[in-house]
């Protein structure tokens, strides 16, 4: 057992040894623990079909073998496996097991950085420690996860975070993969460039247009060309491909900086009119504003996301005249953006609002003689009072009159319970 705390770090004399642990088929594995009878069957954890969230969120290895894919509709998944077992998600269970796994990681290092509920980086660097010893520690963690939690984990061992994550994806389930300075060109460079961390679908398409199809192609591409085409992000991605990633694994006590707060929803019925959008905007804006206040933040830029019934979407953003965490101001700016950009007039399947350009709500306020500042202060006090009422008596103790009749866009009271939180942190892109 290795228990390491407050280890000094000096990159000049110490090689980094970083693990990336990825719990295998996490949601489905936990569900099979609670119901062992389905363990040997293809299992998919899926959202509610009735609320139009009926997609595959996770699947076990048996489902993977018969072609079930994450993100596909439930009806599509059933075509591949007639005996597919569909279970609803239980996030309280997943949170519990995620925390238990993190406790195991923290017994080896205080530098543990979560990357979602089921993944984490673990920095086990120590003067004189070799990557072979890192492999042995990874094996210890793998065995403990399996014995103590009853699920499996794949772990990548490498000299940086990007390659360790690639390693955890190479062998699944229940495996350890080492990517060292000696073998990374053989293991990493032949991989599709889309496997590289932060290379999304759009970036991959651009790289493909320039005949950059593998991670090795990106590593060997001309640095000036990549910078000209993709800017600073292109330079960073090229560094990742060549192994020049020196981003640290943050301590568990490190306070993550929130860069944006937003909510989105797929309501039970398509939003077909501006009134439907207006009602939904207030539902989302209230949730966003409340969370801004919880974090002691206010924002100046409002973003909207719309996806129509043909699953085509777009994002737009606009600035406010002042920083705010008042739901009415956020909703009105979102509605204004919708009016300016919803020119296609197709029914809207999903809609989201996000607030960025954040600042502390405890900072000084610039008062203007040209605005009704007293009215804003009263609105702000009102929203804090509403927060207190809802915290004590429940989320539906007080509501806007506009939400009392939502038949045209479905039961939004149920929909708000399933709002998908989208909090983007300084650790990278929203996933």
Supply the residues annotated as catalytic. Answer: 119
- CB of 122 closer than 8 Å to CB of 128: no
The DSSP output letter for 405 is -
Q: Compute the distance between CA of residue 196 and CA of residue 163 in angstroms, rounded to an integer.
A: 9
Q: Which helix (H) or strand (E) holds 181?
A: none
Cα–Cα distances in angstroms (integers) from residue 91 to residues 73, 149, 166, 209, in the given order = 20, 16, 26, 40
Distance (Å, rounded) from C-alpha 89 to C-alpha 47? Answer: 7
Euclidean distance between CA atoms 363 and 255, whole angstroms: 19
Map tokens 């004590």 to a residue.
392
Angle at 286 between CA 280 and CA 287, to 5 degrees: 95
Q: Which residues contact 402 (CB under 8 A, 6 or more apart)?
A: 278, 279, 282
Q: What angle do the packed helices 91-106 and 26-34 form, to 10 degrees?
A: 110
Q: How far, rounded to the nearest angstrom, does the alpha carbon of residue 84 sit from its chain's CA centroid? A: 27
Half-sphere exposure of 305 toward its Cβ, with a 13 Å CA cutoff? 15
Q: Which residues contact 220 (CB under 8 A, 6 or more apart)?
A: none
Question: Hey, is 158 helix, strand or coil?
Answer: strand
Cα three-residue angle 217-223-225, rounded to 5 degrees? 90
CB 18 within 8 A of CB 110: no
398 SS3 class? coil
Orientation angle between helical segments 201-209 and 223-241, nearest 10 degrees: 130
Q: 17 near 167, Cβ under 8 Å?
A: no
Q: Distance between CA atoms of 75 and 56, rounded to whole angstroms? A: 10
């Amino acid at each position: 057992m290795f228990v390491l705390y407050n280890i000094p770090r000096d990159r000049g004399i110490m090689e980094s040894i970083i693990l990336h642990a990825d719990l295998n088929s996490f949601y489905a594995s936990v569900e099979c623990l609670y119901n062992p009878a389905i363990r040997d069957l293809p299992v998919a954890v899926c959202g509610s079909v009735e609320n139009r969230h009926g997609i595959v969120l996770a699947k076990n290895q048996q489902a993977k073998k018969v072609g079930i894919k994450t993100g596909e509709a439930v009806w599509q998944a059933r075509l591949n496996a007639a005996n597919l077992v569909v279970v609803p998600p239980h996030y309280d269970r997943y949170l519990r097991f995620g925390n238990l796994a993190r406790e195991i990681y923290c017994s080896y290092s205080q530098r543990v950085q979560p990357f979602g509920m089921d993944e984490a980086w673990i920095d086990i660097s120590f003067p004189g420690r070799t990557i072979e010893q890192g492999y042995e520690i990874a094996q210890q963690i793998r065995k403990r996860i399996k014995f103590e939690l009853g699920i499996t984990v794949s772990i990548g061992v490498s000299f940086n975070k990007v390659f360790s994550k690639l390693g955890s994806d190479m062998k699944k389930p229940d495996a350890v993969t080492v990517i060292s300075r000696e073998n990374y060109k053989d293991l990493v460079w032949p991989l599709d460039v889309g496997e590289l961390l932060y290379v999304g679908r759009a970036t991959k398409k651009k790289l493909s247009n320039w005949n950059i199809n593998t991670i090795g192609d990106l590593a060997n591409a001309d640095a000036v060309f990549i910078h000209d085409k993709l800017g600073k992000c292109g330079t960073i991605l090229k560094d990742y491909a060549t192994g020049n990633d020196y981003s640290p694994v943050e301590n568990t006590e490190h306070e993550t900086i929130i860069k944006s707060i937003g909510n989105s929803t797929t309501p039970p019925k398509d939003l077909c009119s501006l009134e439907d959008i207006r009602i939904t905007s207030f539902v989302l804006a209230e949730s966003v504003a409340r969370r801004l206040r919880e974090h002691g933040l206010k924002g100046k830029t409002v973003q909207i996301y719309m996806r129509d019934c043909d699953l085509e979407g777009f994002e737009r953003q606009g600035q406010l005249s002042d920083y705010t965490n008042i739901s009415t101001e956020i909703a009105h700016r979102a509605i204004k953006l919708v009016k300016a950009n919803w020119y296609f007039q197709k029914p809207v399947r999903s809609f989201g609002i996000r607030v960025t350009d954040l600042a502390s709500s405890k900072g000084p306020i610039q008062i203007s003689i040209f605005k009704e500042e007293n009215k804003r202060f009263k609105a702000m006090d009102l929203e804090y009072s509403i927060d207190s009422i809802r915290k004590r008596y429940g989320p539906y103790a007080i509501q806007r009159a506009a939400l009392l009749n939502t038949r045209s866009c479905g039961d939004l009271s149920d929909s708000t319970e399933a709002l998908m939180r989208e909090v983007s942190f300084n650790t990278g892109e929203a996933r």
